[in-house]
Amino acid sequence: MRFVSIFLICALATAAYADKPARPQINITVTEHGFTPDDVKVPAGKPVALVFVRKTDKTCAKEVRLKVGDKTIEQKLPIDTPVEIDVTFPKAGTLVYACAMDMVHGTITVQK
């Protein structure tokens, strides 16, 4: 009886997550030369995870700002620490993200 209960719990848990596709993860590194890659492509209308990792103190990009629709996302970028930003871009186009001083930039190309 105990085995059947554990089996049913595992089966239900598997079924709950089976239909959820893995969301794309885009890794962006911050170096003394800026964001790498400095242009990323993402699908419109689907969730993605932008993962920033700052690798140097020799940059003003110690924070990232990104405007999505009416919302501005601001995240501090501690050194050697992955910072994940979960976002869905509603429509196709090109967006710019930058450091807090607006000196270091990258672009996100949102595709249909």
Q: What is the pLDDT of residue 22?
A: 77
Phi, psi of 8 (to 5 degrees): -65, -40
What residues have CB less than 8 Å from 20, skipping those under 6 apart? none
Q: What is the pLDDT of residue 33?
A: 95
Q: In angstroms, rounded to a whole number, what is the distance separating the alpha carbons of residues 104 and 65?
A: 11
User: Domains, the chain, ranges and CATH?
Assistant: 22-111 (2.60.40.420)
Q: What is the pLDDT of residue 4?
A: 47
Taking only Cα atoms into account, the Rg of the chain, rounded to an integer number of angstroms, comes to 18
**Averaged in consecutive runs of 10 residues, what is the pLDDT profile of the chain (112 residues)?**
52 52 90 96 97 97 94 97 96 96 96 94
Across the strands, what pairs with 47? 88
Half-sphere exposure of 24 (CA within 13 A, CB side): 15
pTM of the model: 0.80
Q: What is the pLDDT of residue 71?
A: 94
